[in-house]
Amino acid sequence: MKTATWTISLVLTLYVAQVSMATALVEETFDYATGPLAGNNGGTGFDGQWFTDFSTATGTIDVTSGSIAFSDYGTTGNKVSLDFQTAPAFTSIWALRTVNAGISSGDMWYSYLYQRTDESGSTVSRTAEVRLYDGVIHFGTQIKTASSQGIKVRYEGSLGATAASVSIQDGNPYLGIAKFEDLGVNGALASFWVLSETAYDGIKAGGIDESELDGAAVLKATDNTNTIEVLTAMLDQLYLVNATSAYPFSFDIDEFRLGTTLADVVPVAALQPGDANGDGLVNLSDLQILGDNWQSTTATWAEADFTGDGTVNLADLQILGDNWGFGVTPDVAFDEALAGVLIPEPTVGALMGCAALLVLHRRNRR
């Protein structure tokens, strides 16, 4: 027997949301076999292979199995581990590779995952640094300098002020994000943000913008250049540096990306259409968000703009309805919707959402 079809006296146009994926100019995921990093030649935006140097120190710089696990941040390949064992005095071990991506104007961003791995509880005189360098350190970020527990950023040879309210040398994974504004302009600003997993989870839905970094970062450091700096193709080199006099000191670096926008260097895991809050479900919580932001003209994904046009309207409602129950047993999702709509004064969006769910439910039970 054919089930009666419920209809809504409005034509709902189906929009297919297509997310434009930004692309890093330089990317290194260390997708190599485990063992010494030196001699490997992969990734994107480089010229030639990795080299390593141990000066008077002893230690290893190896590709080790698996990626740094950081929430649901997208990773691939393995990671690189810089393990400093002994030295007669303060010195460093480092890995370098020539970058083949010139940027002479506009902004430059880079990001990477970081995690300290040695078992020593001490944070004295241990420094993990990522540099872009051709004899002068034009661009660099430091995690833990000799006199602080925090971070620094440099926008040419000098170091900026320290952000040291917390230590991130505690063995937990962190995401570092650096922005160097207005390359080619004297006095431009560099910023370096560090996110914990909790901070990242709080802002990741629908993509991350700079204001969210400012609000969520566990540490932020800034520095102004006093000269004109550019990233010169075939000249600047990426350095990964482990410098200390208080060995042993070891850490992992993973997922290095460099580009001209924040979206280039912080890939956001693809969200299920209709999942406004990024919890992996399309359910009543997302319907509530859509209702609360109904007819907004400045909305983001996290505010139920699934089409990316800045507005919350019928097209977004259609997407939510088409994906209703994702990650949840359909009957549970439906019952949840009917039993849970206890809004004293339902918005137009919430009411329309309920109507759409009735349509979907009847269709699913044919």
Q: What is the pLDDT of residues 47-81, one digit of tens each?
A: 999 999 998 899 999 999 999 999 989 899 999 99
Q: What is the DSSP string of 105-155?
A: SS-EEEEEEEEE-------TTEEEEEEEESSSEEEEEEES-TT-SSEEEEE
All structural domains of the chain, each given as residue ranges with its CATH number in brackets, are 26-265 (2.60.120.200), 284-364 (no CATH)
Higher pLDDT, 297 or 6: 297
SS3 321: helix
Q: Give 112's strand partners.
A: 176
Read off the pLDDT of each residue in 77-93 and give the average, rounded to a whole number: 93
- The pLDDT value recorded for residue 156 is 86
Read off the pLDDT of each residue in 40-45 and give the average, rounded to a whole number: 96
Q: What is the pLDDT of residues 93-120, one digit of tens each?
A: 999 999 998 899 999 999 999 999 998 8
User: For the stretch 118-130, what's the b/e string if a residue is b when 16 or more beta carbons lie within 10 angstroms of its beta carbon?
Assistant: beeeebebbbbbb
Q: Which two tokens stand for residue 74?
A: 């997208």
pTM for this predicted structure = 0.74
